Copies of this chain bind each other. A is one copy, B any other.
Amino acid sequence: MTRVVVDVLLKPEILDPQGQAILGALPALGISGVRSVRQGKHFEVELDGAADSEALDRVRRMAETLLANPVIEEFVVRVESAHAG
């Protein structure tokens, strides 16, 4: 079994109102020194087999079609752990 992580973020040129709302709330919490916050989505995907190139192609296809909107978002696929089981 292999765990693959997909992180989806808005493209840098797309406005992120959620991130800006978080940034705007920080002074009221007394938290300083934060320059920017961007919010995205995080997916943990468990695969039955190994994370070979064919399996990662399937994860990328899943990310493109289901997890991200490629018009406004970009994603990163990362293999987190591989262990028998």
Residues in chain A within 8 A of chain B (CB atoms): 1, 7-9, 19, 22, 25-26, 29, 31-49, 55, 58-59, 61-62, 65-67
A22-B67, A41-B41, A42-B40 known; A35-B48 Cβ under 8 A = yes
Closest chain B residue to A38, Cβ basis: B44
Q: Tell me, in angstroms, the Cα distance from A49 to B32 when the chains sit together.
A: 11
Q: Is B48 a contact of A8 with CB atoms below 8 Å?
A: no
Contact of A40 among B32, B37, B43 (CB under 8 A): B43
Complex-state Cα separation, A67 to B19, whole angstroms: 10
Q: Do A45 and B36 have beta carbons less than 8 Å apart?
A: yes
Cα A34 to Cα B37 in complex, Å, equals: 31
